Amino acid sequence: MAETYQVIVVGGGSSGLMAAINAAQQGASVLILEKNRILGKKLLLSGGGRCNVTNRTSQEELIKHIPGNGKFLYSALSQFDQEDIVNFFADHNVQLKEEDHGRMFPITDRSATIRDALLDICLELGVTIQTKEPVESLLIDRAANKIQGVHCKSGHDYYCKSLILACGGRAYPGTGATGDGYAWAKAAGHSISRLYPTEAPLYSKDDIIQEGSLKGVALREVTVTLWDLNHKAICQHTMDMLFTHFGYSGPAILRTSGHINQFLHETGADTANMTIDLQPELNQDQLRDQAEGQRDKQVLTIIKAWMPQALARVLLSKIPLNPSLAYKQLSHQEVNSLFQLVKAFPISAYKTDPIEKGFVTGGGVKTSEIQPDSMASKLLDGLYFCGEFMDINGYTGGYNISAAFITGTIAGRHAAWAAYEY
């Protein structure tokens, strides 16, 4: 006989585990169908194995750090927010600690602590977990415009009142997030907005990258600005960055990457232009004052205080300036060029790593077709969404797992409540 549950969750990752817990807490019978042998494979990898669970910030800031449809979360956040995530784990004896930029990690520094806690709560609540059971398609009652259940590759059919799709995006497919669900969402009548990589390193043909002399050089707290074709700033991030053998990486760059993909796609431009402010804390006049106080010193010695030596040499070669010249020997124009480069060192990129290597998927099920207060489909009764499967993407810093936990919580609760009404 076919198995029937009040709520079925497809995907036992970050959002699916949270959805299952919340549905079960409402008293619903819940089944998780997961294609992997284990649950939460991506969660285990997250934060370099430490899991950056959430970010201790305001709701406004959280939304700002979710450039992919963060505003869609307003209604969800009024029901369960980042502070509730911290309290949820504390209530289950998992303590979190705060690091730089508000990032929250388990005090054990092990992502397994988070994954295991979620799994244990599921088991305590009586959630049925079926691993190695890839879902193949949805079962839909077209006449009633209502979800019926799912059909699995094994040949099994499972029936439910409410179905939650928590099957993730397309980044890091080795974790199980291979994008299977997009075809099902389309079959249910939903639209999928263009998929693209976000939080991905950049590739560049800049001379400084081709020459390779800056490979491995890291910059601390610099401001990276991405410019549009009218030289208007698209985005600006003050964080660390890194020169690699193929281009640029590090937090400030990863945050810019999704915007670059959008810019290249929308404009058809070959490259995206950025600038690095190497001393964002000081304006040009303050930098000049510092240099004027050391007029007899070599220009290289002066600017080495503002950036790594390898970059200082490259910067001077761009003007071009002999590094051993004393500052007082520079012409007015050379001084201007020098400070302009310190405040706006130009770099460019022509592509990012592909979606499979990006940390997070941009695009997904269109949020305009999803109820923001319940994560229910606006198009098919009984269907719910959560996590990266939706067109929601955040910056690194705990914003994606936050979005997964928040939408998972809302989808789980509402799917369970609706299941009692049918």
Ligand X SMILES: Cc1cc2nc3c(=O)[nH]c(=O)nc-3n(C[C@H](O)[C@H](O)[C@H](O)COP(=O)(O)OP(=O)(O)OC[C@H]3O[C@@H](n4cnc5c(N)ncnc54)[C@H](O)[C@@H]3O)c2cc1C
Which residues form the interface with ligand X (CB under 6 A)? 10-16, 33-36, 41-43, 45-47, 51-52, 134-135, 166-168, 171-172, 175-177, 180, 359-360, 387-389, 398-401, 404
At CA 250, angle to CA 249 and CA 251, rounded to 5? 130
Burial of 64 (0-12, 13-18, 19+ CB in 10 A): middle
**CB closer to ligand X out of 34 and 353:** 34
Q: C-beta of 342: minimal distance to ligand X in Å?
A: 33
| Residue whose CB is less far from ligand X, 22 or 275 | 22
Contact criterion met (CB below 8 Å) for 174 and 34:
no
Query: What are the strands, taking DSSP E only, across 132-215?
Result: 135-141, 146-152, 157-165, 192-198, 202-203
Least CB distance from residue 312 to ligand X, whole Å? 33
Question: Closest separation between CB of residue 63 and ligand X, Å?
Answer: 15
DSSP 3-state of 271: coil
Complex with ligand X: residue 372 or 398, whichever CB lies closer: 398
Residue pair 18/412 in contact by the 8 Å Cβ criterion: yes
**Which lies closer to ligand X via its Cβ, residue 197 or residue 247?**
197
Residue 290 CB, shortest distance to ligand X, in Å, is 38
Q: Please choose, from the candidates 289, 275, 294, 253, the residue with its C-alpha nearest in 3D space to the C-alpha of residue 340.
A: 275
Torsion angles phi and psi, residue 51, rounded to 5: 60, 100
| Least distance to ligand X, CB of residue 177, Å | 4
Task: Indicate left, alpha or beta for 349 from its phi (over 0: left) and psi (-120 to 50: alpha).
Answer: beta
The two structure tokens encoding residue 322: 């002999």
**Closer residue to ligand X in complex, CB, 122/167:** 167
Closest approach of ligand X to the CB of residue 295, in Å: 48
At residue 107's C-alpha, the angle toward residues 101 and 109, to 5°, is: 85
Nearer to ligand X, 45 or 125 (CB): 45
Least separation in angstroms between residue 134's CB and ligand X is 4
Cβ closest to ligand X, residue 39 vs residue 278 = 39
- 91 by Cβ neighbours in 10 Å (0-12 / 13-18 / 19+) ranks as exposed
